[in-house]
Amino acid sequence: MCVVAGRAARVTKWPEKTLFNAPFPAPASVSSFSLHSLQESGDQSEEEPREPSQAGGMGTLWSQEELATKNKNRLRRILEARNSWYSGSGEEKAFQFYNSCMDTRAIEAAGTGPLRQVIEELGGWRISGNWTSLNFNRTLRLLMSQYGHFPFFRAYLGPHPASPHTPVIQIDQPEFDVPLKQDQEQKTYAQIFREYLTYLNQLGTLLGGDPNKVQEHAFRSLIITSRLFQFLRPLEQRRAQGKLFQMVTIDQLKEIAPAIDWLSCLQATFTPMSLSPSQSLVVHDVEYLKNMSQLVEEMLLKQRDFLQSHMILGLVGTLSPALDSQFQKARRKLSQKLRELTEQPPMPARPRWMKCVEKTGTFFEPTLAALFVREAFDPSTRSAAMELFTAIRDALITRLRKLPWMNEETQNMAQDKVAQLQVEMGASEWALKPELARPEYRDIQLGPNFLQSVLSCVRSLQARIVQSFLQPCPQHRWKVSPWEVNAYYSISDHVVVFPAGLLQPPFFHPGYPRAVNFGAAGSIMAHELLHIFYQLLLPGGCPACDTHALQEALLCLKRHYAAFPLPSGTSFNDSLTFLENAADVGGLAIALQAYSKRLLWHRGETVLPRLDLSPQQIFFRSYAQVMCREPSPQESYDTHSPPHLRVHGPLSSTPAFARYFRCARGTLLSPSSRCQLW
């Protein structure tokens, strides 16, 4: 069975290309479904977002973030509906978990008791006085396997470097809760250090620790974090040295980093896998592991109690969102301070229901997927979406025949690749059969408090993820949930995926004017189809192509994007974004070609009420709506341009846009010359 394959693949970051998210972020640990989505911001009032009417929703621009909120609101209504479910079913447990998450009165009443119990199970800590002599590897094993917490390194299942469909355990650098950077100014570094120290002091005090002991242990914990951080080597450096993927056995890893009982810790974490000392692993930073092990050995000799406190404080920070409001207020204050210090905009407050919906979706995805698709993506919607995709695919094939930089052989190869492409629409097959997942929830025990419910769900999901990779799955493993607003192309499976959450108003509806559907959903589909040919655009990727013509087109596109002024505080790396820029420009052109052809076949086109726009203007506005969102700091691995460039770049590259909106020649959106790559 592949009932949790979608979640498993998404957690472990199998290769993919996506429209909205960066395609290759650092892989998450096997337990990356921890509580951080509950701790990003505080609760706010229960005001619901306004929803557009089906045919009139274009009057107000909606971004993908707003559509994602609308989809979560639909899940909320499903979870809050009064239904009778089969006892012990996934539906019943999902509803119970959501209600437990929303029951803040019970969470407040439980106070710190549930977390104190967890700390006692781990041997306690000197901060509270109840501390047993540290068995370091026992504590580490419990943290990894029972609580999804990885204080010194990350361990997760990911694709084998030489065989993308073969999962292999991977050992990587840890993820630090403190936003430190290797090129950070000393002043900023010190300020971040102080703010995080204040936060750790608050956690220890909330748990009843002696203030003097708390301060000392919190300070030592930050010193450990700082030293570990200094051991890190940048991704680019490791890649350049050919040390990003190093195959070692567990026995060899024991020699590299002897402080860790690797076999015991990994076996507990990846049960029911059967591991042996000769088991091969992928290590992403051998030097870090060596230095980390030396630090742990040094502290075990002299400062064992501080090492225990470091691990406990890290766990408390991870679990605190499932506790009462005092912990969440402390976290929210820290987040606000750190964002100020790193010059990021304030994190908008999110309502409690949204965080609870997200957690319920994480732990009970197959159940919620079926309920969401049943309500939001009926057969007529799926049929209309497939019809749109067929029109986009046909337009791409036609366009491939006319590309000047492709010879006939490459054109034929490209057309065959498009013809062989698989498309999955709405939801994966397992999502439509929730009965397959019912046995998977038997190990989930909800209660007696919310923290214990969360921990039970974490352990259950972790086991399901590992189990899913041990079973053969002939189908593509989805990397997104059906309610997410994120299409992607999977290189390894040669399949393109469009979840039901994306194909919703105002981006798509069977009753919309074709201009809306082609401009919004159609441009997304075309963008994803162009990911098939990324390799051709890379140096040496297309030996049979007209290299001179191809390079001229690529350089033209780079110069075109470089000419746009950037808003204050915005930056991007064009060496990372040029492939996505090419897909944005080409996707809009292909969608417009498909729409124009459809107009020839079906004369007459409806327009939207209260909007004085022609069908073609509605097409372009629909495209802009998909790409438009609030600017945010670009992540170092983000392969997409800032939002205003994703709107202006493709629109200014399309002559029809300037014609229909009467843009004067030589202006920003109507340049005197344009590039044609696709």
Task: Give the whole-angstrom CA distance, residue 274 versus residue 34.
Answer: 25
pLDDT at residue 384 in the model: 97
**Total residues found in the chain within this entry:** 678
CATH code for the domain of 209:
1.10.1380.10
Q: Would you state the structure tokens that stand for residue 618, as one six-digit string?
A: 């509605």
pLDDT at residue 1 in the model: 33
Evaluated on CA atoms 649, 655, 661, 665, the torsion sign reads positive
Q: Would you state the structure tokens that stand for residue 563, as one six-digit string?
A: 């000419």
**Nearest one of 577, 619, 579, 582 to 598, comparing CA atoms:** 619
**Nearest one of 123, 156, 155 to 307, comparing CA atoms:** 123
pLDDT at residue 164 in the model: 81
Q: Which amino acid makes up residue 641?
A: S
Q: Give bridge partners of residue 425 from the DSSP assignment.
A: 498
Regions in the chain scoring below 70 on pLDDT: 1-62, 129, 133, 182-183, 434-440, 474, 568-574, 604, 630-638
Same domain, 299 and 413: no
Task: Give the whole-angstrom CA distance, residue 130 versus residue 334.
Answer: 28
pLDDT at residue 394 in the model: 97
Boundary of a domain, candidates 300, 322, 344: 322
What angle (nearest 5°) sits at the alpha carbon of residue 122, between those of residues 119 and 127?
50
Q: Which helix (H) or strand (E) holds 256?
A: helix 250-256
Q: What is the DSSP string of 93-139?
A: HHHHHHHHHH-HHHHHHHTTHHHHHHHHHTTB-TTTS-BPPP-HHHH
Is 610 domain-assigned?
yes
Which distant-in-sequence residues (6+ apart) come within 8 Å of 76 by Cβ?
353, 354, 357
Contact (Cβ atoms closer than 8 angstroms) between residue 283 and residue 246: yes
CATH code for the domain of 516:
3.40.390.10
Same domain, 242 and 306: yes
Out of 66, 91, 484, 584, pick the active-site residue: 584
Look at residue 16 and give its three-state secondary structure: coil
- Residue 325 zone, left/alpha/beta (φ > 0; ψ -120 to 50; rest): alpha
Is 220 domain-assigned?
yes
Beta-sheet strands, E only, within 471-544 = 488-490, 495-499
Out of 66, 91, 324, 528, pick the active-site residue: 528
Task: Give the whole-angstrom CA distance, residue 638 versus residue 486.
Answer: 15
Q: Give bridge partners of residue 247 from the DSSP assignment.
A: 282
Q: Give bridge partners of residue 249 from the DSSP assignment.
A: 280
Q: How many structural domains comprise the chain?
A: 2
pLDDT at residue 664 in the model: 93
Structural domain including 179 reads 112-322
Q: Would you state the structure tokens that stand for residue 252, as one six-digit string?
A: 């060899």
Is 362 domain-assigned?
no
Tell me the HSE value of 614 on the side-chain side, using a 13 A CA sphere: 8
Is 2 domain-assigned?
no
Task: Read off φ and ψ for residue 498, nearest 5 degrees.
Answer: -125, 100
**Nearest one of 477, 610, 511 to 10, comparing CA atoms:** 477
pLDDT at residue 41 in the model: 42
pTM recorded for the entire structure = 0.86
Model confidence over 357-368: pLDDT tens digits?
Answer: 999 999 999 889
**Nearest one of 59, 279, 64, 253 to 167, comparing CA atoms:** 279
pLDDT at residue 301 in the model: 92
120 part of the active site = no
Is 35 domain-assigned?
no
Q: Would you state the structure tokens that stand for residue 372, as one six-digit string?
A: 């969401």
Q: What is the mean pLDDT of the chain?
A: 85
Boundary of a domain, candidates 252, 287, 322: 322
Q: What is the DSSP letter of 654?
A: -
Task: Give the whole-angstrom CA distance, residue 667 versus residue 651.
Answer: 12
CA–centroid distance for 670 within its chain: 35
Task: Read off φ and ψ for residue 319, nearest 5 degrees.
Answer: -85, -15
Task: Give the whole-angstrom CA distance, residue 65 versus residue 617.
Answer: 23
Task: Read off φ and ψ for residue 165, nearest 5 degrees.
Answer: -90, 0
528 part of the active site = yes
Task: Give the whole-angstrom CA distance, residue 360 versus residue 450.
Answer: 12
pLDDT at residue 573 in the model: 66
Is 93 domain-assigned?
no
Look at residue 1 and give its three-state secondary structure: coil
**Nearest one of 612, 436, 417, 650 to 524, comparing CA atoms:** 650
Same domain, 307 and 418: no
Is 480 domain-assigned?
no
Look at residue 471 and give its three-state secondary structure: coil
Model confidence over 403-452: pLDDT tens digits?
Answer: 999 999 999 999 999 999 999 999 987 777 756 655 668 889 999 999 99
Tell me the HSE value of 153 on the side-chain side, using a 13 A CA sphere: 31
Q: Is the peptide bond before 506 cis (omega within 30 degrees of 0)?
A: yes
Same domain, 301 and 398: no
Model confidence over 597-646: pLDDT tens digits?
Answer: 998 887 767 777 778 899 999 999 999 988 887 666 555 556 788 888 99
Task: Give the whole-angstrom CA distance, residue 519 versus residue 592.
Answer: 7
Is 95 domain-assigned?
no
Same domain, 226 and 128: yes
